[in-house]
Amino acid sequence: MPGGLLRRRSATAGVPVSEPAPADLVALASAAAQEAGELLVARHGRVAVAATKSSPTDVVTEMDHAAEQLIRDRLLAARPTDAILGEEGGQTGAGPVRWIVDPLDGTVNYLYGLPGWGVSVAAEVGGVVVAGAVCVPLQHSTFTATLGGGAWLESAWEGSPRRLACNRGVVLSDALVATGFGYSSGQRAEQGHVVAAVLPRVRDIRRAGAAAVDLCSVAAGRVDAYYEQGTHYWDIAAGALIAREAGAMTGGLRGDEAGEAMTLAADPALFAQLRDLLASLDADRLPAG
Ligand code: IPD
Ligand code: CA
């Protein structure tokens, strides 16, 4: 993994200033995500809905807030001038590094005591995600990546971190495809039509319930591809870097970046096949209203 300080010139004074090394950022992201994961494990499956957000099915628990606060405290203790965009707390600060935090991705899994949830922390420098960590506590796993440094899995079942590579050479008809659904019923109706058309053309579909974990599953070869309309930046910032560093391509359907209209991840050849199918279904058309 890369180390050392990157150097750039200050725009104002012409004086060299130090940019943080991705290796340092990923270490901090991973530590904060794991500590939040431990906090969440202590209450797993034993919390109540605290509020709803975009729709009655879009729930938030007190633990989403507690985990985000812990991550914010840890990040700012180490790097007090950084900015943070968190799912629950929004954007704060305006420093050279912006952290993108989903304190509990897969809240509904967490609420029901299902194990497929994670904590996602990414670091952006100059608008580019350079480091990311997704901790999946009940899989005893932490996925990490740095830009250009590969994607890695640290797991309680494996002695040392393992470099990840997504599955290669899988044709669409043999592909195990993960997807997810939004929280609004109008969007779900559209997504239902799309998945009904995709299902007969692929090996099978998985709806595991956490976008960040789905992207890590692409990286680890546990699924061949992932697509979803309606993801937020905090759902995908770390996971998309991890998938890319494992050799996957990420993006939307029309040459655009992965985002709310569509997030698609797979090895480049499968990406192209699934992109063409999804584009023919207008799967990135955002529902009216
Ligand atoms: C959700 C999960 C889910 C995906 C939704 C996300 P949350 O995040 O990642 O799998 O389908 O699009 O909003 O609400 O559990 O943080
Ligand atoms: Ca999320």
For 135-154, write each residue's pLDDT tens digit: 999 999 999 999 999 999 99
What is the distance in A from the centroid of ligand 1 to the CA of 4?
35
What is the distance in A from the centroid of ligand 2 to the CA of 196?
24
- Asked if residue 230 and residue 143 are part of one domain, the reply reads no
pLDDT, residue 16, reads 44
- Counting from 1 in the atom list of ligand 1, the atom nearest the Cα of 87 is 16
Confidence label for 55 from pLDDT (cuts 50, 70 and 90): low
239 within domain boundaries = yes
Ligand 1 near 150 CB (within 6 A): no
- Asked if residue 77 and residue 146 are part of one domain, the reply reads yes
Report how far residue 266's alpha carbon sits from residue 272's, in angstroms, rounded to the nearest whole number: 9
Dihedral angle of Cα 38, 42, 46, 49, to the nearest 10 degrees = -40
pLDDT, residue 38, reads 96
- Asked if residue 151 and residue 186 are part of one domain, the reply reads no
CATH of the domain at 112: 3.30.540.10
What is the distance in A from the centroid of ligand 2 to the CA of 57?
13
> Above 70 in pLDDT, residue 18?
no
- Asked if residue 184 and residue 118 are part of one domain, the reply reads no
% of the chain exceeding 90 in pLDDT: 79
Which residue among 144, 163, 182 closes a domain? 163
Q: Which residue, by CA, sits nearest to atom 5 of ligand 1?
A: 182
- Counting from 1 in the atom list of ligand 1, the atom nearest the Cα of 107 is 15
203 within domain boundaries = yes
pLDDT, residue 159, reads 83
pLDDT, residue 249, reads 98
Crossing angle for the helix pair 22-42 and 62-78, nearest 10 degrees? 150
Ligand 1 near 106 CB (within 6 A): yes
Q: Which residue, by CA, sits nearest to atom 16 of ligand 1?
A: 105
213 within domain boundaries = yes
- Counting from 1 in the atom list of ligand 1, the atom nearest the Cα of 214 is 10
Domain interval for residue 61: 5-163
Greatest alpha-carbon pair distance for the chain in Å reads 60
- Asked if residue 119 and residue 43 are part of one domain, the reply reads yes
- Asked if residue 151 and residue 34 are part of one domain, the reply reads yes
Confidence label for 58 from pLDDT (cuts 50, 70 and 90): low
- Asked if residue 145 and residue 243 are part of one domain, the reply reads no
Ligand 1 near 86 CB (within 6 A): no
> Above 70 in pLDDT, residue 13?
no
- Counting from 1 in the atom list of ligand 1, the atom nearest the Cα of 64 is 16
pLDDT, residue 289, reads 58
Confidence label for 1 from pLDDT (cuts 50, 70 and 90): very low
Q: Model confidence over 194-237: pLDDT tens digits?
A: 999 999 999 999 999 999 999 999 999 999 999 999 999 999 99
289 within domain boundaries = no
267 within domain boundaries = yes
> Above 50 in pLDDT, residue 14?
no
| Cβ neighbours of residue 129 closer than 8 Å, sequence gap 6 or more | 100, 122, 123, 147, 237, 238, 240, 241
- Asked if residue 192 and residue 115 are part of one domain, the reply reads no
pLDDT, residue 217, reads 98
Hunting for tokens 């608008």 — which residue is that?
Answer: 127
Report how far residue 215's alpha carbon sits from residue 265's, in angstroms, rounded to the nearest whole number: 7
288 within domain boundaries = no
Ligand 1 near 82 CB (within 6 A): no
286 within domain boundaries = no
User: 124 has which bridge partners?
Assistant: 98, 129
Which residue among 163, 190, 212 closes a domain? 163
Q: E strand or H helix at 154, and its extent?
A: strand 150-155
- Asked if residue 200 and residue 118 are part of one domain, the reply reads no
pLDDT-wise least confident of 47-61, 71-85, 111-125, 246-260? 47-61
Q: How many domains does the chain have?
A: 2
CB atoms within 10 A of CB 185: 11
Q: Please tell me the number of the ligand nearest to residue 55's CA.
A: 1
Mean pLDDT of 240-254: 98
Given a contact cutoff of 8 angstroms between Cβ atoms, the answer to whether 22 and 149 are in contact is: yes
- Asked if residue 195 and residue 134 are part of one domain, the reply reads no
β-pairing, 90-92 vs 83-86, is antiparallel
